[in-house]
């Protein structure tokens, strides 16, 4: 199973595309779809999720389209992933008490917790501006 699901990957790509045009122009869903090679229907669905999460907005008209609401430096990869798929979790045993009889002394769980911390730290501290 992928840790970062397809919809999250696509949402990151759409967000990065908009970040590269921040304060310059709005981009239509159809243009985003073509540029990122994502179906139009899925592009629209993901833009709606990003809109509900407060990352993008849209405007109508000949120069209309989607744009980032906040500066790329204020949008972490983690926040986009959370908005689309929910938090990344390496293993349920790290977050759910009583799920395993080996808790809390399991050496595997301890190492997975370290990995979870590393991934979360990285995603929270990487912003769209770093990828532009």
Entry pTM: 0.90
| Cα 126 to Cα 36, 46, 65, distances in angstroms | 21, 21, 26
Q: What is the pLDDT of residues 17-57, one digit of tens each?
A: 999 999 999 999 999 999 999 999 999 999 999 999 999 99
Q: What percent of the chain has pLDDT over 70?
A: 99
Residue with tokens 């689309």: 84
For 6-131, CATH gives 1.10.10.10
Q: What is the pLDDT of residues 78-115, one digit of tens each?
A: 999 999 999 999 887 777 777 777 777 788 888 888 99
Query: Which H or E element spans position 56?
Result: strand 56-59
Answer yes or no: is pLDDT of 1 > 80: no
Question: Cα angle at 94 between 90 and 96, to 5 degrees?
Answer: 115
- Give pLDDT, residue 103: 73
Q: What is the pLDDT of residues 117-128, one digit of tens each?
A: 999 999 999 999
- Rounded Cα gap, residues 119 and 98, in angstroms: 24
Query: What DSSP designation does 27 have?
Result: B
- What the block records as the tokens of 71 is 């500066």
- Picking from 65, 93, 90, 68, the residue whose alpha carbon sits closest to that of residue 79 is 68
């Amino acid at each position: 199973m992928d840790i970062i699901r397809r919809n999250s990957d696509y949402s990151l790509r759409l967000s990065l595309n908009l970040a590269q045009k921040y304060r310059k122009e709005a981009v239509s869903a159809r243009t985003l779809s073509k540029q990122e090679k994502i179906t139009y229907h899925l592009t629209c669905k993901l833009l709606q999720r990003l809109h509900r999460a407060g990352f993008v907005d849209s405007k109508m008209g000949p120069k209309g389209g989607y744009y980032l609401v906040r500066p790329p430096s204020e949008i972490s990869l983690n926040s986009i992933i959370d908005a689309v798929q929910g938090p990344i979790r390496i293993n349920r045993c790290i977050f759910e008490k009583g799920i395993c009889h080996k808790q809390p002394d399991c050496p595997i769980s301890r190492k997975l917790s370290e990995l979870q911390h590393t991934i979360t730290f990285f995603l929270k501290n990487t912003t769209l501006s770093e990828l532009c």
